[in-house]
Amino acid sequence: MELVIQNLSKTYPNGVQALKNVNLTIPTGMFGLLGPNGAGKSSLMRTIATLQEADSGSIRLGDLDVFKEKDEMRRVLGYLPQEFGVYPKVSAEELLDHFAVLKGIHNSKERKETVAALLQQTNLYEVRKKNLGGYSGGMKQRFGIAQALLGNPKIIIVDEPTAGLDPAERNRFHNLLSEIGENIIVILSTHIVDDVSDLCRNMAIINKGEVLLTGEPLQAIDEM
């Protein structure tokens, strides 16, 4: 499975050209999108996630035309935005169960098993009864991943995930992403070079809305 982005451009109403003729092919595995603040990373991530429209260009996921088949794209996509809210007064288990209902998992036995497996995978099973308001930043991030993994997505998008995490949490989060990246497309958007060189099989560097280069991390970063 590949995500193929062709000639993607976006100018906001204020005149900022956030994406300039972006072309990228993203294979299965961990893909790093590296760039400074304001480079256009979130604009690109939101466009892939069908949360905003581009002015021109196309995105395909395998046979799927993302702009024409938005509902289908949303079914196979997990998106973890940079800032995501949690409901502080419910537990991880309750909220994940609720999202599982929204994802269409109506059979309660199946839902229970799915939720338990995701809580185990994200290392939150022990604290599943705790209210999310009491979670650390790293725990919230992992909860976000559990939520994004509901419904067996083919692609996961993670926007600036390790900001504010301590080194132990960052490691734990990286291990989790690596495991997920063995089977599906994981796009990691970040301004931290080490996050990309530690984790990603392939990468692109973006600045001022333009893809400057793509390749394997060490090679690409050495060429900078």
Sites of contact with ligand ADP (CB under 6 A)? 12, 14, 16, 18, 35, 37-43, 82
**Listed residue (215, 214, 207, 192) closest to 19, CA to CA:** 207
Closest CB 84 distance from ligand ADP, rounded Å: 12
Q: Which residue number, 97 or 160, has a Cβ lying nearer to ligand ADP? A: 160
Give strand pairing partners of 2.
Answer: 27
Closest CB 20 distance from ligand ADP, rounded Å: 11
Closest CB 9 distance from ligand ADP, rounded Å: 12
Closest CB 191 distance from ligand ADP, rounded Å: 7
Q: Which residue number, 16 or 101, has a Cβ lying nearer to ligand ADP? A: 16
Closest CB 188 distance from ligand ADP, rounded Å: 13
Q: Which residue number, 105 or 200, has a Cβ lying nearer to ligand ADP? A: 200
Closest CB 12 distance from ligand ADP, rounded Å: 3
Mapping DSSP onto H, E and C, the string for the chain reads CEEEEEEEEEECCCCCEEEEEEEEEEECEEEEEECCCCCCHHHHHHHHCCCCCCCEEEEEECCEECCCCHHHHHHCEEEECCCCCCCCCCEHHHHHHHHHHHCCCCCHHHHHHHHHHHHHHCCCHHHCCCEHHHCCHHHHHHHHHHHHHCCCCCEEEEECCCCCCCHHHHHHHHHHHHHHCCCCEEEEEECCHHHHHHHCCEEEEEECCEEEEEECHHHHHHHC
Q: Which residue number, 18 or 48, has a Cβ lying nearer to ligand ADP? A: 18
Main-chain dihedrals φ then ψ at residue 64, nearest 5 degrees: -85, 130
Q: Which residue number, 40 or 138, has a Cβ lying nearer to ligand ADP? A: 40
Q: Which residue number, 16 or 213, has a Cβ lying nearer to ligand ADP? A: 16
CA 182 centroid distance within chain: 15
